[in-house]
Structures are given as C-alpha cells and as structure tokens.
Amino acid sequence: MTTRQMTAPRHSAESRTYRQLIAGQWVAADDGRTFDDFDPYTSEVFARIPASGAADVQRAIDTAHQAFPAWAAMGARARQAIFLNAANILERRADELVLLMAKETGCASPFARFQIQWATGLLRQAAGYSYLPGGEIVASDMPGVFAMAVRKPLGVVCGISPWNGSLALGFRTVAAPLACGNTMVLKPSEDAPVCAGLVMGEIFHEAGLPPGVLNVVTHAPGEVGPVADLLFESPHVRAYNFTGSSRTGAALAARAGQQLKRIALELGGYNPMLVLADADLDYSVDTAVFAAFFHQGQICMNTRKILVHRSLYDAFLVRFMARAEAIRAGDPSDPATRIGPLINDQAVAKVKQGIDEALARGARRLVGGSMRGRCVDPTVLVDVPADAPIHSEEVFGPVVLVEPFDDEQEAVARANATAYGLSASIMTADVWRGVSLGGQVQAGMVNVNGPTMGGEPQIPFGGVKDSGWARFGRWAIDMFTDLNLVTVSQARRQYPL
C-alpha cells in the first residue's frame, strides 16, 4: 500500500507496468522497484511505476548535461518541427489521454479535454520560440564598439510538476525550458507520474526529441528525499520550474537559494470573486458555479470566496445553491460526469477538516458536504468566521464561502485578506469600475466579468505574494535563459593604462 492512499487498493487485470525515460531509453528503476499508481474513483491499481532513487536521477542529470550542447545548437527549424510533431501526436492521442487522466487523477472529461486543447496550443506556440529574436543591439558610448544582449539557454533545468492539472501542467513544466534550448529532468508528482510526466516523455520521444534532452524520473510516495537531494545539489542543474503548493515551493526556493540557483514558482491560490451591486445576477451565478467547482475544486485558480453586494446576496444564494446542489461528483470515466473524485484520501480528509473546523466555529453549510468514497459534492458555506482556517487558506476541494458586503473598498480589503495572490474576478456592469477595483486586488491575474479560472497558453500566467513569482507565456523565455552581453570592438581601442 502506498502512503498516499489509506483504503486498500485492488489490482486491476489490465494494470500496466510503465518504464521511465532516461537517455532516450525506456528503463526500469535501477534497483527494479515499482510502486502502485491507483485510480482514485475505483481504488484499483491501474499502473505500476518505477520507484527511482539516487542512481536513476544521477543518470538522468548526467545524460541531460551531455545532451545540452547539441540541443542548444540545433537550428530553429529542426527544433520547431519537433514541437509541432508533439502537438499533432497529442491531438491524435486525445481520446486515450482523456481516459488516462480519468483513471490516474479522477479528472472528468470536460477538464481533460480542456487540458489537451490547452497543451496543444502551448506546444504550437512554443514551437515559435525558436524564431523569436534571441537578443537585441545595445547602444555603446565607445566609438566603434558594437554591443549585443544575447539570450542563451541555461543548461539542465529540473521540472517538478503537480498532479492536479496533470497533462496541461506537465507540458507547461517542460515546454518553455526545452523550447529555449535547455535540456531537462522532469520529476512528476507521485500522484500522477503518468499524466504529469511519462506522457510528456512518450510524446516528445515519438516527436523526435534527441535522446537525453528530456528525461523523466518517477519516484514512489514518501521517497522524494534522495531524488530531490541530487536534483538540488547537482552543479549541472541550473534552474527549477516548480508548480505545486506554496509550502513545498517555499521550502524548495530556500534550497535553490542556498545554491544561488533560480527557481520559477507557480503556487497555490485563494481566489476571490466580487459581485458588485450592478452585476448581471444570472451570469454571475453561472460564472461562480464553473469557477468554484470545476475539476472538483482542485485547480489553483478555483474561486474560494464569493463576496456579493448585500443588495444581491439573498437572490444570489438562492440561485447559486440550486445550481450547486444539482452537481454530483461521480465516475470520471463516464463522459456525462461533470466532476469526479478527489485525488486521494488525504485530500478528502483535508477538505473534511476544513469544513468541520468552520462548522465548529459557527459557520453554516447551505449545500453539500456529502462524501461517497473520494467523491465530494459541491459545498457552500456562509457565516464562516475569520478564525476558521478555510476563511483564508486553500483546502483544494469543491468548497466555497459566500459573504455579503456593503462597501466596495471593504470587499477589496477582504479579498486581499489572504497570503495568496493568484487570481480574482469582478462582476459588474461598469467595466471601468471593475478595472479600477481590480487594480487594488492583490492578484497576478484579474478578470472583469470572467471567472477566476482561465488561462490561455500565451498569457503572462502567474501570481503574487504566496502564489509565487513565475510568469508563463512568452515571459517564460526570460526565466529559462541567461541574458549575456557580447561586444565587438571594430577598431583598436585606447586605454588609460
């Protein structure tokens, strides 16, 4: 039994044994160990995954280091072709991957299809990075000196991916670093080693990525220690691309900082939605239902708190509760299912604890709370006191708080009363008022008349405060390249010495 799962898993007759990708070869762990990857809905083991340790990671780092010079030097056209191939392969494999995401992560088909479409767009956009300007000319005050600021890849980048938007975020973890000419070791989440890691390896391998450019190393739950030690201590690893919780991100940032290495951080969120007095009520309810409960509340950008102007509060609650009550968590492999189970037993326990602590402090649950296995139905809480942890902390499940407000400035202050700052939304008929208030909300992404959740591949995706500091879209190029100065003196220079 794995540590991520307390209920005993059943072994499915079809469970597959995977291998990991090192130096262009699909290999077992050095010592041959595997761990069980289970389906959160059925509790069946659907895959066996290499349980790697230090020897595997060392080989992956070494091979990425060796592959770097040739990959960095590869021409733009050849590199672009690989990314375009990868996008086509991903599209071709869509139906199979939708099922795989359901089995490994409990992801229902609407979010799985979104992830595939998003990642396909990301790969096609990253294919163009090789043709973007690689630097600029800088004016020199010295006669005859020609100065260039040139972007160069870093070397080996370590990617650490989460399980929740497994396929989209697995590709986001590798796309920009690879497209910039770096080589990589990808360490996917132990909760989604296939969809957040091995699938990236399979698709880029088939697309023609040279051996060693992308290596994927998997580890068992509870065994990240020796893997992380090597990844953070190796002098060959120049940078990290991390997406995950703020707690892990802070610990890894401290570790990277000790080695003076850079780390891109995309972390948790506690995302507010403000419904102003002049908002369209029906559209606000539609937006809130989607933003709070999509992927059973396991997206960093899900709305966690809805602040509604008191003049609309009662009407909003009646409509919102009816809509929330109509959604039932169920079998993610059924195309009709809108939301599936939570990822594991710890996630269910965390959500339950968050709700129970709020209820014990006087909150009221208007809808939801029923749990069948790992399926948790949408839950709406009101009157949650400020000392309940869920009032400002992410529990990562289908639970949302609704609060009335009287004054817009008060609503902004309450929206900002969290350590996070990922995304926010403001619903109003007065777009410019929305923009102006949005400027006061501490969030990396503000959406006027849109959900907190969104994110196309080309936007400067990212948060502020405890939500991290990375920016994706073309801004990721700055994170995964060095800016070097090159000067050329066209004539003999005169020196003072």
112 scored as a contact of ligand NAD (CB under 6 A): no
Rule CB under 6 A: choose which of 50, 162, 201, 297 binds ligand NAD: 162
Helices (H), 94-146: 94-105, 109-127
Rule CB under 6 A: choose which of 60, 116, 160, 415 binds ligand NAD: 160
Q: Indicate if the alpha-carbon torsion angle 331, 332, 335, 338 is positive or negative.
A: positive
SS percent in the chain: helix, strand, coil, step 5: 40, 25, 35
Of the pair 181, 249, the CB lying nearest ligand NAD is at 249
Which residues is 47 bridged to in the sheet? 16, 37
What amino acid occupies position 159?
G
3-state secondary structure (DSSP) of residue 18: coil
Contact 198, 53 (CB under 8 A): no
- Written as six digits, the tokens of 52 are 């790697």
Helices (H), 268-403: 281-293, 310-325, 345-360
Of the pair 10, 247, the CB lying nearest ligand NAD is at 247
Please tell me the distance from the alpha carbon of residue 44 to that of residue 104, in angstroms, as a whole number: 10
Question: Which residue in the list 180, 300, 375, 408 is annotated as catalytic?
Answer: 300
Contact 440, 417 (CB under 8 A): no
394 scored as a contact of ligand NAD (CB under 6 A): yes
Residue holding tokens 């998003």?
118
Annotation says 266 is catalytic: yes
Candidates 48-56, 121-129, 159-167, 275-283; binding stretch for ligand NAD (CB under 6 A): 159-167
User: Nearest approach, Cβ of 118 to ligand NAD (angstroms)?
Assistant: 12
Annotation says 233 is catalytic: no
Rule CB under 6 A: choose which of 86, 158, 195, 300 binds ligand NAD: 300
Of the pair 180, 252, the CB lying nearest ligand NAD is at 252
User: Nearest approach, Cβ of 106 to ligand NAD (angstroms)?
Assistant: 13
Rule CB under 6 A: choose which of 5, 20, 164, 234 binds ligand NAD: 164
User: Nearest approach, Cβ of 246 to ligand NAD (angstroms)?
Assistant: 6
Question: Which residue in the list 104, 107, 158, 266 is annotated as catalytic?
Answer: 266
Candidates 18-26, 128-136, 150-158, 265-273; binding stretch for ligand NAD (CB under 6 A): 265-273
Question: CB atoms < 10 A from the CB of 433, how many?
Answer: 15
First to last CA, the chain: 73
Which residues are CB-neighbours of 405 under 8 A, at least 6 positions away?
274, 307, 308, 309, 310, 411, 414
Please tell me the distance from the alpha carbon of residue 367 to that of residue 402, in angstroms, as a whole number: 12
3-state secondary structure (DSSP) of residue 373: coil
248 scored as a contact of ligand NAD (CB under 6 A): yes
161 scored as a contact of ligand NAD (CB under 6 A): yes
User: Nearest approach, Cβ of 228 to ligand NAD (angstroms)?
Assistant: 3
Of the pair 327, 443, the CB lying nearest ligand NAD is at 443
3-state secondary structure (DSSP) of residue 386: coil
Window 426-465: residues binding ligand NAD (CB under 6 A): 463
Closest residue to ligand NAD, based on beta-carbon distance: 244
Rule CB under 6 A: choose which of 12, 58, 245, 416 binds ligand NAD: 245
Window 168-197: residues binding ligand NAD (CB under 6 A): 169, 188-190
Helix axes 76-92, 199-207, angle to 10 degrees: 130
User: Nearest approach, Cβ of 271 to ligand NAD (angstroms)?
Assistant: 10
What secondary structure letter does DSSP report for 329?
B
The CA distances from residue 183 to 110, 224, 318, 328, in Å, are 32, 21, 53, 43
Of the pair 153, 188, the CB lying nearest ligand NAD is at 188
266 scored as a contact of ligand NAD (CB under 6 A): yes
Residues that bind ligand NAD (CB under 6 A): 160-165, 169, 188-190, 224, 228, 243-245, 248, 252, 266-269, 300, 394, 396, 422, 463, 467-468
Residues known to be catalytic: 266, 300
